[in-house]
Amino acid sequence: MTVETKTLSKEISEIFWKEGFTLATAESCTAGNVAANITAIPGSSRFYKGGIVAYANEAKQELLHVKAETLDTYGAVSEETVREMVDGALDAFHARFAIATSGIAGPGGGTPEKPVGTIWIAAGSKEKVITAKLEEDNGRELNVHAATKKSLSMLLELVQNHENEQ
């Protein structure tokens, strides 16, 4: 955990405590790193319901209910897949918000169409899902860190906007 992700996690925790929101995660390339950063903050058990690390497409389908057609058409590393992963995590944990990540952290596994460093992220609720695509390869560890930081930033933006809309 870096100072940046700790700060983001702390801000998220404070909002979730105050508002009574709940959170779940569905991670592929970040392999639980997002969940680890969230649960590093004392008291996170008050709002964090759980997470699924779904590396294999079969796990994405069986545990998160990502459609086979989505994976066949767009691939595991796609906006469509992370959107469905968010929905699956929301349903699996009966959470108000969820984060999902899927990508190619490296060093191998990339293709010309989806090179190493391509990572899709989604944060959302049943009402709204926002997505982002990272496309920079700085090595596996930094790619995972960048995806974790972006995930937390997106969730914070989403819940802050939700608070302002109330």
Cα 144 to Cα 155: distance, rounded to the nearest angstrom: 17
Written in H, E and C, the secondary structure of 15-72 is: HHHHHCCCEEEEECCCCCHHHHHHHCCCCHHHCEEEEEECCCHHHHHHHHCCCHHHHH
74 sits in which H/E element? helix 68-74
- The reported pLDDT for the residue numbered 145 is 96
pLDDT tens track of the chain, all 166 residues? 788 878 999 999 999 999 999 999 999 999 999 999 999 999 999 999 999 999 999 999 999 999 999 999 999 999 999 999 999 999 999 999 999 999 999 999 988 899 999 999 999 999 999 999 999 999 999 999 999 999 999 999 999 987 666 5
Q: What is the pTM of this model?
A: 0.95
Which pLDDT score is estimated for 1?
Answer: 76
Q: Which pLDDT score, from 0 to 100, does residue 5 have?
A: 79
40: phi then psi, degrees, rounded to nearest 5: -75, -15
